[in-house]
Structure 1
Amino acid sequence: MALDPGLLELMRDDLADLPGIHEKKMFGGVCFLLDGHMVCGIGGKGLMYRVGKAAYAEALALPAVHELGFTGRPMGGMVEVALEDAEDAPRARLMALSLAHARGLPPKRPKG
């Protein structure tokens, strides 16, 4: 399934003014990283957010948010929202949780 260009632009807009954000093709989609740590992404089936284990229960309590499990088992600290359920309010809260998680991690050193 192809990426939804409208949702990709929404995600880019959500992160546009933040320093340290980089876009990278991953997981068959596009991910956004802050200082080398994944914050969120978009794939063919929906949006994914790395909220971390501390905010995992809060994120799952939001409407239309589910465990991320494209590997066949849940990936702790990561959640997803189906494309058709990507409403502004839950998306904004998930982005805030994901950014807070990434900001709490030490910056990664560049490879090479």
Structure 2
Amino acid sequence: MPYDEHLADRVRELLADESPVTEKRMFGGLAFLVAGKMAVAASHGGLMVRVDPARADQLLASTNARPMEMKGRAIRGWLEVGGENLRTKRQLANWIAIGTATARTLAGTGTNP
């Protein structure tokens, strides 16, 4: 199933003032990289968000996000936010801010995108 193009357009709009931002098709979705590091990705069911692993438990407890899983395994430092929790501009902007802040802390560290 392709990624949610409307969601990708909304993400693109909110990242318009960030620099540098690149887009790359990854994991069946459209990833948005900030300073060369993946920050968020629009998928078919919502948004993948890069988070500081030290903050992940707090975000899981206080939001409707869930652990990002691939092949049945949780991916450390990534959360999945369903589209029903991204309906407003404010909701989406909050998650994008978390993802971009985390990506910026990794810029220049040699960590994978």
Shift of 1:41: 0.3
User: Do residues 99 (structure 1) and 103 (structure 2) align?
Assistant: no
Q: What SS class does the counterpart of residue 56 from structure 1 fall into?
A: helix
Q: What SS class does the counterpart of residue 18 from structure 1 fall into?
A: coil
Q: How does 1:18-97 map to 2 (within 5 A)?
A: 18-88=18-88, 89-97=90-98
Distance 1:42 1:80, change over 3 A: same
Runs of 4+ in 1 over 6 A off after TM superposition: none
Unpaired runs of 5+ in structure 2?
none
Equivalent position amino acid for 1:102 in 2? A
23-32 or 55-64, which deviates more: 55-64
Counterpart in 2 of 1:11?
Answer: 11
Structure 2 CA distance, aligned partners of 1:54 and 1:80? 16
Aligned length: 109
**What's the C-alpha RMSD, in Å, of the aligned pairs?**
1.9
Equivalent position amino acid for 1:14 in 2? L
Distance 1:74 1:82, change over 3 A: same
CA contact (8 A) 1:15 1:21 kept: yes
String of CA shifts for 1:59-112, please: whole Å, max 9, x gaps: 223432111013211111100112233233443222222111111123378xxx
Unpaired runs of 5+ in structure 1?
none
Equivalent position amino acid for 2:75 in 1? M
Structure 1 CA distance, aligned partners of 2:11 and 2:107? 23
TM-score if structure 1 supplies the norm length? Answer: 0.83
Per residue, is there more strand in 1 or in 2? Answer: 2
TM-score if structure 2 supplies the norm length? Answer: 0.83
